[in-house]
């Protein structure tokens, strides 16, 4: 009897179970889903921003200054900046000030989850909306670390607003200053040292969120600044910073197009910048005009429809055979919206290629790749320039090379090796059967899918074909287990009408499982599929001594029952044939406002679509 059998033994009696929480309902349509309890929250009239014409008033917002303290000023600036909701965990009086402005608050079960949900919201909002998080200064800010590190690694623009020690003790050990501690893993990190600087610091923060390389921005508010009076003129002088769009020089665009059109086997490498730039249509137009195949990085996944004849697929460490083939054999690689950062969780670029790189951030050019032609600028604006030049060179109709049928042939060859597993009748349920059912069972245009760290990521990335922008959230230059649950809650906030599914392992569940309760309480219903294989398939042969002597990498639990205990619908799947029904049921439950967890008794799968 193997490890998996042993762990499954007590579960034989379990069948599909369901428990429904009726009291919260999601309100679809425009804006953020609001549980009734939050929608009806009373906001005292005196706290709602407004003007009686006596105090200084911000002309842009009509906000009035009224002997505000630091927290109240920050809350009003958040309102002015269009922040619709804030993830939080007490204690921080800014939470109360934000509530008084009528901004919705969602409390998570721990700070890391709050940060990760904010991240999910930002990733889904194309730098037009930002995830904002409020935490306590000491332990709260300390506990947010994993989420900030993840946002930094993936260039996600979130705003963390922790408290901080009072100024008298700010520099005194062992006080924890979030702005100092997070400096190495934040795009920008500062503390407010004077009440008169609240507006300047917040303006810098929003400028940084909207412009340049994206990343987490930290604004620490020491206790006395939070409570101290802010001078008149700070709020009325606040001007919301704009987003600036930059473009490359025309001569560089012309050089790039010459290289691209004369290449023998070109490939497009599309990164997350295509999504942030809303440039999917332009990317499609360029690919079709030039008949050049498109590979998407993990963060770029869903930036190009993977059912398109020119799609090569996406890659983490695992990828498709068409992607691998073109990445190996291409002579010219055109990276669009990509930093080209090297990562163990992505495909390497073999040496010897001519590289054209478009990125929003000049600092990412010539970083880890030697770049032949650089096109610094917004992905969409750059693509429009490239398209114009291509049309000038080869005409409006573009060219046909026959590459699509070559891609189809390689894809067929690759899939013939995997079709069996994606339809496997094995028990415990094969991981790839779960992936196959997700691929077959979702309305791709109305869904958002994500993976979690480890084997779930590499199992799903090559085989789930995302067809609509933000239909998949690919993440993970550092790969925090458990990101999937809060990430999907944040995505659901941005897209209340989409079905949001997160595929995670049982190890990952341990890191954020209690935020299933947050999803229920917040009326942001998501579906979590737990590959319950009783251990860590990511390390199939790992730590044999630790495993034999102490059971390291093994674990167990009835996750469907745990989910039910938190007010979600728990579904247990023990047979492959049950998976399709479970996914269909989950979509129905979610659309009716119920959070779902599908606990799949799955195998220890070590096979990956890897080629080197
Ligand atoms: C916070 C964190 N700690 C450790 C890791 C390293 N890690 C990556 S995958 C993995 C095992 C995950 O187990 P599980 O979620 O059950 O997935 P499985 O390997 O069984 O598919 C670990 C420990 C990580 N990615 N994040
Ligand atoms: Mg596992």
Task: Render pLDDT for 95-141 as a digit per residue (tens, 0 to 9).
Answer: 999 999 999 999 999 999 999 999 999 999 999 999 999 999 999 99
- The domain boundary, picked from 219, 242, 265, lies at 242
Q: Would you say residue 526 lies in a domain?
A: yes
Q: Is residue 551 part of a domain?
A: yes
The mean pLDDT of the chain is 91
Q: Calculate the CA 30 to chain-centre distance.
A: 21
Based on the fold, state whether residues 460 and 532 are members of the same structural domain. yes
Structure confidence at residue 380 (pLDDT) = 98
**Contact between residue 532 and residue 600 where contact means Cβ atoms under 8 Å apart:** yes
The CB-based long-range contact list for 497-500 (8 Å cut-off, 24+ gap) reads: 497/28, 497/29, 497/446, 498/446, 498/447, 498/448, 499/442, 499/443, 499/446, 499/447, 499/448, 499/527, 499/586, 499/587, 499/590, 499/591, 500/447, 500/448, 500/449, 500/526, 500/527, 500/590
Cα 180 to Cα 499: distance, rounded to the nearest angstrom: 39
Q: Which residues contact 279 (CB under 8 A, 6 or more apart)?
A: 273, 303, 336, 337, 379, 380, 383
Give the CA distances from residue 5 to residues 443, 491, 532, in Å, rounded to whole numbers and listed in that order.
Answer: 34, 36, 12
Q: Is the pLDDT of residue 77 over 70?
A: yes
The reply to whether 81 and 230 lie within a common domain is yes
Beta bridge partners of 132: 159
CA separation for the pair 259, 374 (Å, rounded): 12
> Do both 116 and 203 map to the same domain?
yes
**106 lies in some domain:** yes
Q: How many Cα atoms occupy the beta-carbon half-sphere of 489 within 13 Å?
A: 35
Please indicate, yes or no, whether residues 594 and 457 belong to a single structural domain of this protein. yes
Across residues 491-505, what is the average pLDDT?
98
Share of residues in the chain with pLDDT > 70 (%)? 89
In tens, the pLDDT along 518-527 reads: 999 999 999 9
The per-residue pLDDT for 242 is 97
| Final residue belonging to a domain, choices 212, 242, 272 | 242
pLDDT per residue as tens digits for the range 588-608 = 999 999 999 999 999 999 999
Residue 46 has a pLDDT of 32
**Residue 4 included in any domain:** no
Confidence of residue 58 (pLDDT cuts 50, 70, 90): low
204 & 270 share domain? no
Q: Poorest-confidence range of 11-20, 288-297, 366-375?
A: 11-20
Residues 167 and 115 both lie in one domain: yes
Residues 283, 210, single domain; the answer is no
Does the CB atom of residue 506 touch ligand 1 within 6 A?
yes
The answer to whether residues 378 and 400 belong to one domain is yes
Beta-carbon count within 10 A of 3 CB: 15
Per-residue pLDDT at 94: 98
pLDDT at 424 (0 to 100):
98
Residues 502 and 470 in one domain: yes
CA of 319 to the centre of ligand 2 (A): 21
Residue of 148, 453, 607 with the most ligand 1 atoms within 8 Å of its CB, for mutation? 453
Q: What is the pLDDT of residues 384-437, one digit of tens each?
A: 999 999 999 999 999 999 999 999 999 999 999 999 999 999 999 999 999 999
CB atoms within 10 A of CB 72: 27
CATH number of the domain to which 169 belongs: 3.40.50.970
Given this model, what pLDDT does residue 64 score?
A: 62
Ligand 1 close to Cβ of residue 508 (< 6 A): yes
Do 119 and 79 lie in one domain? The reply is yes
User: Which residue, by CA, sits nearest to atom 4 of ligand 1?
Assistant: 481
* 3-class secondary structure, 106: strand
The residue ranking higher by pLDDT, 294 or 46, is 294
Ligand 1 mean position, distance from CA 272 (Å): 24
Is there a domain that residue 417 lies in?
A: no
Is a pLDDT exceeding 60 seen at residue 379? yes
| pLDDT for res 59 | 57
Residue 609 belongs to some domain of the structure: no
Which residues are CB-contacts of 416 (< 8 A; sequence separation ≥ 6)? none
Domain that holds residue 116: 31-242
Q: Do 469 and 402 have their domain in common?
A: no
Q: Are 511 and 530 within 8 A, CB to CB? A: no
Whether the model pTM is above 0.85 = yes
Ligand 2 centroid distance, CA of 578 (Å): 20
Which token pair is 92? Answer: 């921080």
Indicate which CATH number applies to the domain containing 371.
3.40.50.1220
Rounded to an integer, the average pLDDT of 217-237 is 96
Please report whether residue 611 resides in a domain. Answer: no
Q: Are 597 and 570 in contact (CB under 8 A)?
A: yes
- C-alpha atoms less than 13 angstroms from C-alpha of 549 in its C-beta half-sphere: 4
- What are the tens digits of pLDDT across the range 268-319? 999 999 999 999 999 999 999 999 999 999 999 999 999 999 999 999 999 9
Kindly give the number of the ligand 1 atom that is closest to the alpha carbon of 454. Answer: 9
| Residue 275 included in any domain | yes
Best residue among 460, 538, 551, 604 to mutate for probing ligand 1, ranked by most atoms within 8 Å of CB: 538
Q: Give the pLDDT band (50/70/90) at residue 541.
A: confident
Domain boundary among 242, 270, 288: 242
The count of domains in the chain is 3
Q: What local confidence, expressed as pLDDT, does residue 66 receive?
A: 74
- Domain co-membership, 518 together with 484: yes
Burial pattern 468-490, b for ≥16 Cβ within 10 A else e, equals: bbbbbbbbbbbbbbbbbbbbbbb
Residue 612: is its pLDDT beyond 90?
Answer: no
How far is Cα 41 from Cα 103, in angstroms, rounded to an integer? Answer: 11
């Amino acid at each position: 009897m193997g490890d998996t059998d042993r762990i499954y033994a007590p579960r034989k009696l379990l069948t599909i179970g369901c428990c429904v929480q009726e009291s919260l309902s999601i309100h679809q349509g425009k804006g953020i889903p609001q549980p009734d309890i939050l929608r009806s929250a009373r906001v005292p009239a005196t706290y709602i921003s407004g003007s009686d014409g006596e105090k200084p008033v911000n002309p842009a917002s009509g906000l009035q200054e009224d002997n505000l303290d630091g927290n109240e000023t920050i809350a009003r600036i958040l309102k002015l900046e269009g922040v619709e909701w804030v993830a939080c965990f007490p204690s921080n009086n800014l939470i109360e000030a934000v509530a008084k402005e009528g901004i919705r608050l969602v409390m998570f079960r721990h700070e890391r989850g709050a940060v990760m949900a904010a991240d999910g919201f930002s990733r889904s909002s194309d730098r037009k909306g930002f995830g904002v998080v409020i935490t306590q200064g000491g332990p709260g800010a300390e506990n947010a670390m994993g989420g900030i590190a993840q946002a930094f690694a993936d260039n996600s623009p979130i705003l963390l607003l922790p408290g901080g020690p009072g100024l008298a003790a700010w520099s005194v050990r062992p006080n924890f200053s979030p702005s100092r501690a997070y400096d190495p893993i934040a795009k920008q990190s500062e503390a407010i040292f004077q009440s008169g600087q609240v507006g300047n610091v917040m303006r810098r923060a929003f400028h940084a969120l909207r412009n340049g390389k994206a990343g987490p921005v930290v604004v620490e508010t020491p206790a006395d600044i939070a409570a101290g009076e802010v001078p008149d003129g700070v709020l009325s002088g606040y001007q919301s910073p704009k987003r600036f769009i930059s473009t490359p020089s025309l001569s560089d665009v012309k050089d790039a197009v010459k290289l691209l059109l004369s290449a023998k086997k070109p490939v497009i490498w599309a990164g997350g910048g295509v999504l942030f730039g809303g440039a999917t249509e332009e990317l499609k137009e360029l690919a079709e005009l030039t008949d050049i195949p498109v590979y998407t990085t993990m963060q770029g996944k869903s930036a190009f429809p993977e059912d398109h004849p020119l799609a090569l697929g996406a890659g983490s460490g695992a990828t498709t055979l068409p992607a691998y083939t073109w990445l190996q054999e291409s002579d010219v690689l055109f990276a669009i919206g990509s930093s080209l950062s090297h990562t163990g969780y992505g495909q390497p670029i073999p040496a010897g290629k001519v590289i054209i790189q478009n990125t929003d951030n000049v600092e990412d050019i010539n970083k880890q790749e030697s770049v032949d032609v650089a096109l610094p600028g917004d992905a969409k604006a750059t693509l429009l320039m490239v398209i114009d030049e291509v049309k000038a060179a080869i005409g409006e109709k573009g060219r046909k090379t026959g590459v699509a049928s070559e891609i189809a042939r390689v894809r067929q060859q690759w899939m013939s090796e995997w079709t069996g597993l994606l339809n496997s009748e094995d028990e415990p349920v094969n991981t790839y059967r779960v992936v196959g059912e997700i691929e077959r069972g979702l309305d791709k245009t109305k869904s958002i899918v994500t993976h979690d760290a480890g084997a779930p990521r590499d199992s799903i990335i090559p085989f789930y074909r995302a067809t609509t922008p933000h239909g998949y959230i690919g993440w993970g230059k550092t790969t925090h287990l458990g990101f999937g649950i809060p990430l999907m809650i944040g995505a659901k906030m941005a897209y209340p009408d989409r079905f949001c599914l997160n595929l995670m392992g049982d190890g990952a569940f341990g890191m954020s499982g209690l935020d299933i309760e947050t999803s229920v309480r917040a009326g942001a219903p998501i579906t979590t599929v737990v590959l319950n294989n009783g251990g860590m398939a990511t390390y199939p042969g790992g730590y044999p001594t630790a495993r034999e002597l102490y059971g390291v990498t093994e674990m167990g639990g009835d996750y469907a029952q745990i989910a039910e205990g938190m007010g979600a619908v728990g579904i247990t799947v023990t047979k492959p044939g049950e998976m399709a029904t479970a996914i269909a049921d989950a979509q129905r439950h979610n659309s009716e406002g119920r959070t779902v967890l599908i606990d799949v008794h799955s195998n220890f799968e070590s096979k990956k679509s890897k080629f080197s």
